[in-house]
A and B are shown apart, each in its own frame.
Chain A
Amino acid sequence: MTVRVQSEVFDTGAELTGFSADRRDVGAVVSFTGIVRDDSGDLERLEIEHYPAMTASAIEAMVAEATQRWKLQDALVIHRHGALAVGEVIMMVATAARHRKDAFEAAEYLMDYLKSRAPFWKKEVAKGGASWVAAKDDDEDALSRWS
């Protein structure tokens, strides 16, 4: 299981290739990539703040819980912080299992928890000013299906 919190850009393709390389016990890999999008048409960048002392341990706890719930051979979470341009990769999750159902469900679980329980805060900086992204009720509701 690998968790990385970093400001640097990373190559999702290379990460995914390395993730399942040289394994004989993996029949399914599911991955999700989060990308900076521009809904308003004037977004200059996304600034992601985090709580350095808490971030990695909070994500590791989520990964440990996912490993308890599903039969996973491996899991990978990479999440960036700092200033990100439109189109840049924010984060990725990958899960590896013998069978796809475990891989799909665990990836969804990790995404739902990363959204609402990992200590990151997004700020949208646009030409007209900056604003913090508000958490959505939908994201909070998404957690209830796992309880």
Chain B
Amino acid sequence: MIDVLYFAWVRERIGLPKEQVETKAATVADLVAELSAREERYALAFSDTSALRVALDQELAEFSAPLKGVREVAFFPPMTGG
């Protein structure tokens, strides 16, 4: 089981802030493909991953990064702090 978190418009499009996902996905990109195949709202949120950022266990990562040992994955748009 892996915790998957969504923030900002990703959260709004998918319709929930957090869920637990049972997955054997090897990489973030594989997880995105699995989620996108679930339902239209996921496919819509993940339609352009170049507009998204991902963090693995609270550290920014690439979509090609492996998920082995990861407990928390977060998807969100580019950050707008400051």
Contact = CB atoms under 8 A, between A and B. Distances in A.
Contact of B58 (A57, A111, A117, A118): A57
A119 B82 contact: no
Interface string A4-35: 00000000000000000000000000000010
B20 to A, nearest CB: 16
A66 interface: no
Contacts of A111: 82
Interface stretch (A68-76, A94-102, A132-140): A132-140
Given A51-B55, A53-B72, A117-B60, A132 B8 contact: yes
A10 to B, nearest CB: 16
Contacts of B74: 51, 54, 119
A135 B8 contact: no
The size bracket of the interface on B is 10 to 19
Nearest to A119: B79
A67 interface: no
Nearest to B78: A135
**Most A CB atoms within 10 A — which of B5, B11, B79?**
B79
A132 B82 contact: no
B77 interface: yes
B42 to A, nearest CB: 19
B77 A119 contact: no
A133 B72 CA distance: 25
Interface string B34-69: 000000000000000000000100111000000000
A123 B12 CA distance: 12
B80 A54 contact: no
Interface of B: 5, 7-9, 11, 55, 58-60, 72, 74, 76-82
7 contacts: A51-B74, A90-B82, A121-B7, A121-B8, A121-B76, A132-B9, A133-B80
A-B residue pairs, 6 tightest by C-beta: A135-B78, A120-B81, A121-B8, A118-B81, A54-B58, A115-B82
